Amino acid sequence: MMFKPFVYIQDLNLSYRNKAVLKDLYWEINVGENWVLWGESGSGKTALAKAIAGLTAAQGSIEIDFDPLSKLPAEVLFVDSWYQFKNLEGVANFYYQQRYTSQQAKDTLTVHAELVLFGKEKGLHFDRVEPILEALGFSTFASSQLIELSSGEHKKLQLVKALWLKPQLLVIDQPYTGLDAASRKNLNMLLYQIAEEGVQLILISNDQELPTCIHRFAEIKDGQITTAYTREDTSVSFEKHNREIPGFLKESPVYASDNIVKMVDVNISYGEKQVLKNINWEVKAGEKWLLQGHNGSGKSTLLSLVNGDHPQSYANELYLFGNRRGSGESIWDIKQHIGLISPEFHWYFDATATVWQSIASGFYDTVGLFQQLPYTKSSQVDELVEYFGLTESKNELLTSLPLGKQRLVLLARTIIKNPELLILDEPCQGLDLQQTQRFNQLVDELCSNGMTVIYVGHFESQLPTCLEKRIVLEKGEVKVVESLNIEILS
């Protein structure tokens, strides 16, 4: 009797916007094998994963031979890199600042309610989800509204569901996105445990940190798959980014004040839940800060105060760019000084904007371009389009690009006006190693010209070298403020 593979893919072809992504792709996954799949941004990793899960149409053959005797559900579960939640009326029309407006947050389900619905749909026992919640540090989020969660917390919710269900085939796109170091370690332990119970894994990841049950490696390149038994045999070779930084970004920002941020005993609460407790923090012009803390420690809320988005900033002693918050300046006055990128901002960005328009909108701090640019500013947009290697895509919709390239577009938008303060909240989520190196190289170049930076990053090995100070939050409080040596961290 011939041996039959668990997953058999033959002559698979998939195109996106008339561009061939997968070309006569062949891949066999045998029973008991757990894989990591990687490749450069846009190589087709997510498209292949969705095709295996039956979520994307493709030409060719995909056969999955589920085990009828297994106690595990005979299904493929695909965990997307982003979680697309909806409000109670089934609509996903949210805006960026809505997360911080507690009255409107009641419009979405709580984490507990979402898990109850999933458990009923899949026929799962609720007592079996508790150990997973505990291991991922997610037990305290039961009453949180979906809209209140950060990107890392949304990722945890998806992972909790997947680990609870334990399907015969589990495909996870970017499993470590937004997770702190402790959560990554515990996730790898949980993935190992379910693999021991018979779940087969395909992880789409460029990360080095993997569960020990992974023993097969695959890379997509030019629409084809190369497979190996070791990572090194499929390791992508990256060329160093040697384009010269645009001239207008070589100039030092013009500072309105030597004091960029000053917080005095700042407190933020939602009802009885205190998110920030007696925060004292000062950022001077030209300083480069690393902001860290476990998921749920208060980092996103702290940044929302700095960028003017949080309504409770008026009730606190908070100074931004030399002015006390509430002294007459508008949110747009504050944003003129700031370039911002965050996973949440990416979620809510204008889906109808082209690449060029998205970058240009950074001049006006809007989520799309609603006015004509003068020649000088148009030329600066063109320079950044060229610098980031986006020339061929400049007239395409932002949402039509692979996730990593979308992030590069928004990174370009962040720096287009050479702002006094760069807020980079996990800026390299979704980027491949080459793009991460390129962006951090750019941050280092900008910092040499005197720009102020607040950088949020969980992966110490993927940080720019210019960072010189660190603040660490724990349960809403400042745990550490110290000078930083990136070489020691790495």
Residue 93 has pLDDT above 50, yes or no: no
Which residue, 267, 169, 180, is CA-closest to 459?
180
Q: What is the pLDDT of residue 452?
A: 95
Where helices occur in 99-180 by DSSP H, the ranges are 102-105, 111-122, 130-135, 151-165
Give per-residue pLDDT as tens, 170-193.
999 989 887 888 888 999 999 999
75 vs 53: CA distance, rounded Å = 8
Residues 216-271: tens digit of each pLDDT: 999 999 999 999 877 666 555 445 556 788 989 888 888 989 999 999 999 998 87
Q: Identify the pLDDT of residue 107.
A: 66
Task: Tokens for 43, please give them.
Answer: 């190589």
pLDDT value at residue 235: 54
Judged by DSSP in three states, 269 sits in: strand
248/216 Cα distance (integer angstroms): 46
What's the mean pLDDT when you consider all of the chain?
86
Supply the pLDDT for residue 384: 93
Domains of the chain: 7-234 (3.40.50.300), 247-489 (3.40.50.300)
Q: What is the mean pLDDT of residues 393-415?
A: 88
Please check the confidence at residue 490 and state whether its pLDDT lies above 80. no
How do 317-320 and 259-270 pair as beta strands? antiparallel
**pLDDT band at 95; cut points 50, 70, 90:** very low
Torsion angle defined by CA atoms of residues 441, 444, 445 and 448, in that order, rounded to the nearest 10 degrees: -170
Predicted confidence band at 347 (pLDDT cuts at 50, 70, 90)? confident
Cβ atoms within 10 Å of 90's Cβ, excluding its own: 6
Is 104 a residue whose pLDDT tops 80?
no
Q: Is the pLDDT of residue 408 over 80?
A: yes
- pLDDT for the residue numbered 103: 42
Is 90 exceeded by the pLDDT of residue 160? yes
Place of tokens 């001239």: 247
- Phi and psi angles of residue 154, each rounded to the nearest 5 degrees, phi first: -65, -40
